[in-house]
């Protein structure tokens, strides 16, 4: 029997819900390349039977690349609303030693118009007893405020619900890895010089937590449906989560006035194309200033965290597009230019912060 006919046999078995043993035996006959082709073709079978077969294939598979492809296929079925069991690798005992499972949770918001975002995190120290962190992070200056303390399960549930409810409009609050929340707090504390001891002690609670995202580099490896098409940078930056954010720098108001005064003299009236040329030259000079260039690493971190937000919102084309942009130095420069122009062209009306401050 040819490889192609074996693949067809498995697919027909799945569609007809035939004996799983036959499908499993047939799958094990395939070469690695044909296993990959077969798993790719499963996108056309969108039901729970396919998920059951995939779990059976996973349990008998030893090749890590194939296991990864099977997990990706299972994930796609989950995103389509299918009820899929978690895969169990070969040799994993059915009856495992009962271990104490502790509950940890963290939330992250996007930035508001005051250049602030919230990080909320809780870590279970022992059954129903948690330590809670509520932090406000400033885009440029790092950790602005930090509150922490013990809290019980009921109080924690109410706090989490309150914060999720208070984010409205273009402000969002998404679940993130609790260990990554700890990383964000330490990163922000190092930038601000505040609460460094408190955030360092946080490592005591997160060292043994098993999370797929611990540092920014892990954001690049999040699983998404294989059919996801990436969006271009200009489309991504028009998403509503970016609306409240803007750049700030020391001479912002002076630079903004100078930029908007170009071509506005009553004595000299310049044609529109010359005004545009002068504004472009002004922008290029500003982009070369040390203060603006120093924002580039911060912009990169913003894009990484917003990619994580997009993944949490299941807006995978935005996530994938940002992952591609972050590999391109020109894309980072174009992002900085976009936000710089957004500030210079912005009207003078100042809106209040959209995150409700817990500090008064």
Q: What are phi and psi of 243, to 5 degrees?
A: -55, -45
* Residue whose C-alpha is closest to residue 305's, from 169, 131, 106, 130: 106
Which phi and psi (to 5°) does residue 120 adopt? -115, 130
Write out pLDDT tens, residues 267-289: 566 777 788 888 889 888 999 99
CB 32 within 8 Å of CB 63: yes
Q: What is the pLDDT of residues 158-187, one digit of tens each?
A: 887 776 666 677 899 999 999 999 999 999
* CA 342/CA 116 separation, integer angstroms: 18
Question: Could you tell me which of 8, 82, 81, 28 has the C-alpha nearest to residue 50?
Answer: 82
Question: Of all residues in the chain, what percent carry a pLDDT higher than 90?
Answer: 38
Lowest mean pLDDT among 55-59, 165-169, 180-184, 244-248: 165-169
Q: How far apart are CA 186 and CA 199, in angstroms?
A: 5
pLDDT surpassing 50 at residue 102:
yes
Q: What pLDDT, on the 0 to 100 scale, is given for residue 43? A: 63
Q: Are 179 and 211 in contact (CB under 8 A)?
A: yes
Burial 75-109 (b: 16+ CB within 10 A, else e): ebbeeeeeebeebeeeeeeeeeeeeeeeebbbbbb
Greatest mean pLDDT among 8-17, 64-73, 313-322 lies in 313-322
In order of 127, 315, 320, the CA distances from 211 in angstroms are 20, 21, 21
Alpha carbon distance 212, 147 (integer Å): 26
Mean pLDDT, rounded, for 256-266 = 76
Cβ proximity of 131 and 205 under 8 Å: yes
pLDDT at 189: 95
Which of the pair, 51 or 89, is modelled with greater confidence?
51
Q: Which of 343, 315, 182 is nearest to 241 (CA)?
A: 315
In this structure, the dihedral spanned by the alpha carbons of residues 141, 322, 118 and 181, taken in order and rounded to 10 degrees, is -90
Residue 176's contacts (CB-CB under 8 Å, 6 or more residues apart) are 106, 107, 108, 213, 308, 312
Specify the long-range contacts of residues 238-244, CB closer than 8 Å, at least 24 apart: 239/310, 239/315, 239/318, 240/169, 240/170, 241/110, 241/170, 241/172, 241/306, 241/309, 241/310, 242/110, 242/306, 243/170, 244/110, 244/111, 244/112, 244/113, 244/170, 244/171, 244/354
Q: What is the reported pLDDT for 268?
A: 63
């Amino acid at each position: 029997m040819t490889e192609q006919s074996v693949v067809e046999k498995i697919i027909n078995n799945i569609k007809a819900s035939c004996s799983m043993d036959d499908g499993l035996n047939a799958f094990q006959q395939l070469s690695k390349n044909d296993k990959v082709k077969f798993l790719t073709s499963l996108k056309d079978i969108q039901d729970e039977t396919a998920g059951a077969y995939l779990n059976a294939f996973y349990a008998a598979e030893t090749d890590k690349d194939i296991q990864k492809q099977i997990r990706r296929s299972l994930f796609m079925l989950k995103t389509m609303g299918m009820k899929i069991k978690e895969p169990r690798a070969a040799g994993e005992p059915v009856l495992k030693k009962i271990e104490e499972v502790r509950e940890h949770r963290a939330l992250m918001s996007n930035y508001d118009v005051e250049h602030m975002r919230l990080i909320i995190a809780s870590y279970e120290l022992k059954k129903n007893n948690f330590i809670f962190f509520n932090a406000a992070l400033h885009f440029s200056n790092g950790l602005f405020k930090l509150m922490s303390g013990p809290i019980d399960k009921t109080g924690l549930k109410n706090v989490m619900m309150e914060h999720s409810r208070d984010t409205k409009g273009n402000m969002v609050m998404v679940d993130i890895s609790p260990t990554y929340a700890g990383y964000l707090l330490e990163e922000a504390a190092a930038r601000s010089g505040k609460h460094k001891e408190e955030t360092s002690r946080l490592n005591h609670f997160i060292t043994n937590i098993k999370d797929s995202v611990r540092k920014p580099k892990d954001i690049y490896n999040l699983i998404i449906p294989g059919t996801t098409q990436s969006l271009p940078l200009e489309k991504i930056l028009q998403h509503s989560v970016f609306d409240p954010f803007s750049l700030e720098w020391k001479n912002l108001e002076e630079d903004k006035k100078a930029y908007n005064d170009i071509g506005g003299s009553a004595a000299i009236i310049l044609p529109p194309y010359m005004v545009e040329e002068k504004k472009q030259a002004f922008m290029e000079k500003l982009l070369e200033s040390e203060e603006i260039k120093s924002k580039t690493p911060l912009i990169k971190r913003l894009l990484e965290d917003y990619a994580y937000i997009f993944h949490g919102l299941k807006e995978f084309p935005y996530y994938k597009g940002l992952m591609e942009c972050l590999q391109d130095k020109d894309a980072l420069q174009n992002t900085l230019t976009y936000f710089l122009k957004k500030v210079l062209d912005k009207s003078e009306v100042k809106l209040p912060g959209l995150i409700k401050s817990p500090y008064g």
